[in-house]
Structure 1
Amino acid sequence: MGQGQAQPGAPTDAAIVAAFKSVSTAVISDNLQRLPGAVGLRPFHAGAPMAGIALTVNTAPGDNLFIHRALDLIKPGDVLVVNGGGDETRALVGEIIAAIAQQRGAAGIVVDGAIRDSGVLMKSDFPVFARAANHRGPYKNGPGAINVPVSIGGMIVAPGDIVVADADGVVAFAPAVASELLQAARTQEQREAEILASIRAGRYAGAYAK
């Protein structure tokens, strides 16, 4: 699809999305056969975890025209997921775009590319994940597309996917698996909590092979 926009699927249960904010990406990945997950992206904010619904953007490397267009479509709880082609030579997002997204209720921003104003963003709790920081600004010529499947750090994200991110990285998955995945993740968390308790008590004697 060229300079177009597709429509995402039906709304996802907000309570389920919110619950994933307290689940680590490592545990989520473990329960998705350790397959999905973006590589090379890291947080550029004060460290708050993030969970939301993907509003996806494809951009030309070094160009953020379609990011600006996507800002007009943000709904509360959306995560702006930008495929910048992994290009680090020009920043696609900075303080102003982050402030607009936050003011419009976005849950965060994920950029497979560079950001700038990192000194300001690093002091904020508004989640921003990217590949690098670079002071050089973007062009605004296009082309691009909104609400189409995108590749972020080697992970495919579809419009409407649930996106979760923390200090370890970014993972995304279809809403259809969310309920079962959340239950499996909680089970693993409980099992790991019991193992850690046994270690602290000096009772741990088995191999942990998860």
Structure 2
Amino acid sequence: MSNVGFRIIEEINRLDQQVIEGFKGIATPNIGDVMGRMYAMDYNIKSINKPGIHIVGSAFTVRTHPSDNLMVHKAMDLAKPGDIIVIDACGDMGNAILGELMCHYAKTKGIAGYIVDGPVRDLHGIAEMGFPVFAKGATPRGPYKEGPGEINTPISCGGVPVQPGDVIVGDDDGVMVIPQGDAATVLAAAKGVQEKEQEVIRSIYEGKWERGWVDQTLQDKGCVSIGRIESSEGQTV
């Protein structure tokens, strides 16, 4: 009998912690800019917490049948401190995949947060405890605990492929997925973008932000600039 669709891989390969920690403090837009503006999860998957949340960790993946969270419970028992449990619930909004109690348990385990392609519940309680949860929405309707599902197999979350051990970065703008093999290169490039943006901000307040590129780009693309248009009666419109 095949176990595809109902299997658990307990151990995953994680990046050196120094690389993962390097993404702390780097905004998701800076990461997206150096990844071809790709690998950003769908905008519907957003933080349910107060503004200012920022999480970084290794993806501990779960594929679950919509409306069921049996494998999510098992993933909480297996995940290591610093992991982010990333859940492919097919984007279905029928039943909450997790709630406040599971967040309290995850917090005691040192799990960094949840990313859910589906709904959660107990928004107020989760927000009050400040545990990072990114989800597609909310519903009071609870889940079943029957299976099937998979742990630590490749999944899709928010329209982005996620492999176990990929780096996940989430903040107020959304969630980025950095493939494990590209993480060190992306980190260095994103730091460069962040430093450049700080220089631009300084130049703005010093009145030195070079704006010539705007007109040059318009000219290169064939845009025609007209000072004003007059109506047939000679009035400016």
The Cα of 1:6 is off from its aligned counterpart by: 3.0
Figure out how many residues of one structure are paired with residues of the other and give that number.
209
Aligned residue in 2 for 1:108: 113
Aligned residue in 1 for 2:48: 44
Is the 8 Å Cα contact of residues 13 and 164 (structure 2) preserved in structure 1?
no
Deviates more, 1:172-181 or 1:60-69: 172-181
Aligned residue in 2 for 1:196: 201
Letter in 2 for 1:189: Q
Is the 8 Å Cα contact of residues 78 and 108 (structure 1) preserved in structure 2?
yes
Identity score, percent: 38
Q: Which has the higher contact order (CA 8 A, sep 6+)?
A: 1
Is the 8 Å Cα contact of residues 150 and 158 (structure 1) preserved in structure 2?
yes
Consecutive unaligned residues in structure 1, runs of 5 or more: none
Cα distance between partner residues in 1 of 2:14 and 2:174? 25
RMSD (Å), alpha carbons: 1.5
Deviations, residues 65-95 of structure 1 (Å, cap 9, x unaligned): 1111111101011100001111112111100
The Cα of 1:167 is off from its aligned counterpart by: 0.5
Consecutive unaligned residues in structure 2, runs of 5 or more: 218-237
* Candidates 124, 133, 142, aligned match of 1:137: 142
Aligned residue in 1 for 2:37: 34
Is the 8 Å Cα contact of residues 62 and 138 (structure 1) preserved in structure 2?
yes
Task: Compute the TM-score of the two structures, normalised by the length of structure 1.
Answer: 0.94
Describe the SS at the equivalent of 1:181. Answer: helix
User: What is the 5 A alignment of 1:93-104?
Assistant: 93-104=98-109
Aligned residue in 2 for 1:56: 61
Deviations, residues 151-187 of structure 1 (Å, cap 9, x unaligned): 1110110011111100001111222211111111111
* Candidates 88, 103, 125, aligned match of 2:93: 88
Cα distance between partner residues in 2 of 1:12 and 1:89? 35
Letter in 2 for 1:84: A
* Candidates 180, 185, 193, aligned match of 1:175: 180
* Candidates 184, 189, 192, aligned match of 1:184: 189
The Cα of 1:11 is off from its aligned counterpart by: 2.8
